[in-house]
Amino acid sequence: MKVEKVKYVLWAADWQRCLGFYRELFGGVVSFESEVWSEIVVAGATLGIHGGGEGKRTWTGLSFQLDDLRAGIARLQECGGTLAREPEDTPEDPLHLAMCIDPEGNEFMMTQRRH
């Protein structure tokens, strides 16, 4: 047996809006697109977008590590996402972390490694 691909699935009430959001925010490349199931590749990882979601706010556990978190936050808001929590700098936490919400209600993290 060989694993061919790992996918992380998000639900979307508006699948086209969801695809557009991740394409615009992270420069994702759509590899498959349909009303029921779509796939977009971001930094080598595949996000599956499943149409038919309810648009409810849902924690996903998904995280995107960026080289510039402040620029990512600005872009998030330009693309229609919401910043749920500003990054907090603490001596104990090695990552800068911003809690974010996509237009479909999916919560995710954007991080930046400390240098």
Locate tokens 């490349």: which residue? Answer: 29
- Asked whether the beta carbons of 33 and 51 are under 8 A apart, the reply is no
- Asked whether the beta carbons of 64 and 55 are under 8 A apart, the reply is no
- What pTM does this model have? 0.90
Q: Looking at the predicted structure, is the pLDDT value of residue 106 above 80?
A: yes
**Token pair for 4:** 């061919």
Listed by start position, the domains of the chain span 7-113
In this predicted structure, what is the pLDDT of residue 113? 84
In this predicted structure, what is the pLDDT of residue 36? 93
**7-113: CATH architecture:** Roll (3.10)
pLDDT in tens, 46-66: 999 999 899 899 999 999 999
Q: Looking at the predicted structure, is the pLDDT value of residue 95 above 70?
A: no
